[in-house]
């Protein structure tokens, strides 16, 4: 599943049309349903979105598109998400692209893997904490 979309905006005070630089985002997830949900949430015409369902194609798509951001599920088939993260961070052409990783599962080894595979900020990988509910 691949979808790309751009936009052109009209300047307010003139009839000239100016191309607005559109941020490119690549979303990698092996689940078609999750990709559809992410497309609904993220794509309101503000971004060039490329959705990649197959992790074995993700690396080549990211190198081809050169996105402003990669949203990467760490639990994808074929090529483990952490392997893709490592490949991107070690490649001179892609190492500076911000990568947001997520998973629908949380296991301690995911945190350890993210840190050992060159994640930028370990605090960003921790799951949100829920405070205890109190009734007064």
Q: CATH number for the domain including 110?
A: 3.40.50.2300
Query: What are the pLDDT digits (tens) for 53-65?
Result: 876 789 999 999 9
Residue 131 placed within a domain: no
Residue 3 placed within a domain: no
Query: What are the pLDDT digits (tens) for 9-38?
Result: 333 444 445 566 788 999 988 778 888 888
**Structural domain for 101, as ranges:** 9-120
Residue 30 placed within a domain: yes
pTM given for the model: 0.63
Q: Cα-flanking dihedrals φ and ψ of residue 63, to 5°?
A: -65, -35
Decide if pLDDT at 114 tops 50.
yes
Q: How many domains, in total, are found in the chain?
A: 1
Residue 61 placed within a domain: yes
Residue 78 placed within a domain: yes
Query: What are the pLDDT digits (tens) for 74-111?
Result: 877 656 788 888 899 999 999 999 998 887 665 555 55
The Cα 95–Cα 92 span in angstroms is 6
């Amino acid at each position: 599943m691949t979808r790309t979309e751009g936009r052109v905006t009209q300047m307010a005070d003139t009839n000239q049309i100016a191309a607005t630089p559109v941020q490119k985002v690549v979303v990698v997830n092996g689940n078609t349903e999750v990709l559809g949900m992410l497309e609904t949430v993220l794509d309101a015409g503000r971004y060039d979105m490329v959705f990649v369902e197959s992790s074995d194609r993700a690396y080549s798509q990211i190198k081809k598109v050169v996105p402003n951001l990669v949203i990467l599920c760490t639990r994808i088939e074929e090529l483990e998400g952490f392997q893709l993260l490592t490949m991107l961070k070690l490649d001179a052409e892609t190492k500076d692209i911000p990568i947001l990783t997520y998973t629908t599962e949380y296991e301690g080894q995911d945190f350890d893997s993210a840190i050992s595979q060159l994640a930028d900020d370990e605090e960003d990988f921790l799951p949100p904490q829920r405070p205890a509910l109190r009734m007064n």
